[in-house]
């Protein structure tokens, strides 16, 4: 392996106490995160959105291909167009395309095909996954695309919480219309629509419980 391909890894070691304290406070902050479906129209500096996306770009990805594009939509006309098309797909979802079990599971969230948050949120971050790359040298491969994009979106959502903003992970499937409206290239497929902004002053969220540690983890000591 060629030495010039490597740099010394800079590591700042924490004491055990500091490590415990920081892990607790990060958990406590992330435990406050909720999916919000009622947005205020209050503006958010674009710089915050840029930093949030830069944070997503620090996520690990298969062979470091970073196989995603985050499209930031703040244009009102585009948002209205997207809302209209999303509501058309969602209407079909709620009226036949989703199974009875799925509809039953969604009852407690009180959701339907009407999606005002698409117009109210100051930004939609529409995430596209790149199944392959198309460049001057032709098509090149990406690896573990779903995993890589999912991890980057996890970083994105954590950064949104850290910036004092709220978001929703929205999947108005099938989402092909998003690539059409935004004129995305053939190698990109819509992955998630993430409205970002401040919560509406009367926003409410469903009462949910999160699984306990022993329900989501198994320790082999
Ligand atoms: C992949 C994915 C898709 C989702 N799709 C939708 C959606 O289309 N509409 C919606 O209202 N919520 C959607 N959600 C939000 C979930 O309902 C929400 O995360 C879950 O109920 C837990 O609530 P919390 O995020 O407030 O902890 C989605 C979440 C994920 C991770």
In a domain, residue 86? The reply is yes
Where does the pLDDT of residue 1 fall: very low under 50, low under 70, confident under 90, or very high at 90 and above? low
In a domain, residue 16? The reply is no
CA of 206 to the centre of ligand 1 (A): 11
Q: How far are the Cα atoms of 96, 148, 154, 221 from residue 217, in angstroms, in the given order? A: 36, 22, 19, 12
Q: What does the pLDDT read at residue 136?
A: 87
Task: Give yes or no for residue 171 CB within 6 A of ligand 1.
Answer: yes
Over 90: is that where the pLDDT of 3 sits? no
Q: How many domains does the chain have?
A: 1
pLDDT tens digits for range 73-95: 999 999 999 999 999 999 999 99
Structure tokens at 60: 């690990």
Pocket test for ligand 1, best of 109, 126, 168 (most atoms within 8 A of CB): 168
Return the CATH number at 157.
3.40.109.10
In a domain, residue 95? The reply is yes
In a domain, residue 208? The reply is no
Structure tokens at 94: 């709620």
CA-proximal residue: ligand 1, atom 30 (nearest): 169
CA of 88 to the centre of ligand 1 (A): 19
In a domain, residue 127? The reply is yes
The pLDDT mean for the chain works out to 96
State the helix-helix crossing angle for 145-162 and 46-56, rounded to 10 degrees: 140
In a domain, residue 213? The reply is no
Q: Containing domain of residue 78, as a range?
A: 35-200
In a domain, residue 52? The reply is yes
In a domain, residue 100? The reply is yes
Task: Give yes or no for residue 35 CB within 6 A of ligand 1.
Answer: yes
Query: Given phi > 0 = left and psi -120 to 50 = alpha, else beta, which region is 164?
Result: left
Whether this prediction's pTM lies above 0.85 is answered by: yes
Task: Give yes or no for residue 69 CB within 6 A of ligand 1.
Answer: no
Q: What does the pLDDT read at residue 137?
A: 84
> Cα(77)–Cα(40) distance, rounded to whole angstroms?
18
CA of 142 to the centre of ligand 1 (A): 27
């Amino acid at each position: 392996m060629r030495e010039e391909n490597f740099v010394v890894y800079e590591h700042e070691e924490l004491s055990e106490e500091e490590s415990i304290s920081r892990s607790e406070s990060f958990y406590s902050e992330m435990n406050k995160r909720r999916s919000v479906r009622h947005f205020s129209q209050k503006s958010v500096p674009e710089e915050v959105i840029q930093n949030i996306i830069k944070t997503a770009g620090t996520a690990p990805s298969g062979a470091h291909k970073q196989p995603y594009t985050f499209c930031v939509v703040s244009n009102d006309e585009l948002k209205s167009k997207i809302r209209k098309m999303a509501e058309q797909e969602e209407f079909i979802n709620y009226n036949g395309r989703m199974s009875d079990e799925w509809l039953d599971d969604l009852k407690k969230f009180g959701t339907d095909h009407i999606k005002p948050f698409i117009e109210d949120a100051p930004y939609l971050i529409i995430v596209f996954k790149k199944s392959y790359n198309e460049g001057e040298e032709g098509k090149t491969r990406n690896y573990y695309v779903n995993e890589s994009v999912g991890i980057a979106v996890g970083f994105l959502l954590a950064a949104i919480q850290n910036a004092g903003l709220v978001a929703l992970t929205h999947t108005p499937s099938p989402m092909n219309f998003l690539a059409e409206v935004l004129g995305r290239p053939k190698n990109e497929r819509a992955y998630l629509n993430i409205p970002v902004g401040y919560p509406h002053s009367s926003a409410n969220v469903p009462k949910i419980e999160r699984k306990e540690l022993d329900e989501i983890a198994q320790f082999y000591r």
